[in-house]
Amino acid sequence: MSTWILIAQNSYAALYKLQKQPLSLKLIQRFEHPEGRLKQEELTTDHPGRSKSTVTSGKHGMGQEISAREVERRKFVHQLCHHVDLSYEQQKFKDLILVAPPQFLGELRNTLPKKFHTLVSKEITKDFPQWMTEAEITQHLLKDL
């Protein structure tokens, strides 16, 4: 079994297999999440509702507890974690390296099943642009691997 690297952010992710000799990455799968690029206004179609208070004579706004962007990020994180979990159950890899911006990395860490707490061999806080090639990503990751 091998080491997989999950590079992720709000709008896309890519799974790579780490090749040891020579040190390189082999793309396994890309994931697209275009909703992760949208602005808050583009994700919601309506303003928060209003409610009339029975205690006072005024009205007040009913805001959302979490933003639509947060909901979309969580959906994508769950999709990625589900895929990684299934792949592990099929014994496709033995350890995992996570690479993501800080907030997304935290969300991945909190969403992955507990068994991954020991299977994640490294966490790297980086935000790689989607257009980078495997060679460019490898070159940048060499310092952290």
What is the residue-level pLDDT of the chain in tens, covering all 145 positions?
A: 789 999 998 888 999 998 888 878 889 999 986 664 544 554 455 555 554 555 555 555 555 566 766 777 788 899 999 999 999 999 999 999 999 999 999 999 999 999 888 899 999 998 887 777 778 888 888 777 7
For each of the domains in the chain, give its residue range(s) and CATH number, in order of start. Answer: 3-37+65-141 (3.30.420.60)
Record the tokens describing residue 137, joined without a space. 């990503």
Tokens representing residue 51 in the block: 């409610």
Q: Greatest CA span in the chain, whole angstroms?
A: 73
Q: Which of 10, 6, 11, 14 has its CA nearest to residue 30? A: 14
pTM to 2 decimal places:
0.75
Task: Identify residue 74 by its one-letter amino acid code.
Answer: R
The neighbour count for residue 24, using CB atoms within 10 Å, is 14
CB-CB neighbours of 1 under 10 Å: 9
Measured torsion, CA atoms of residues 116, 16, 77, 144, in degrees rounded to the nearest 10: 70
Q: Which residues contact 50 (CB under 8 A, 6 or more apart)?
A: 59, 60, 61, 62
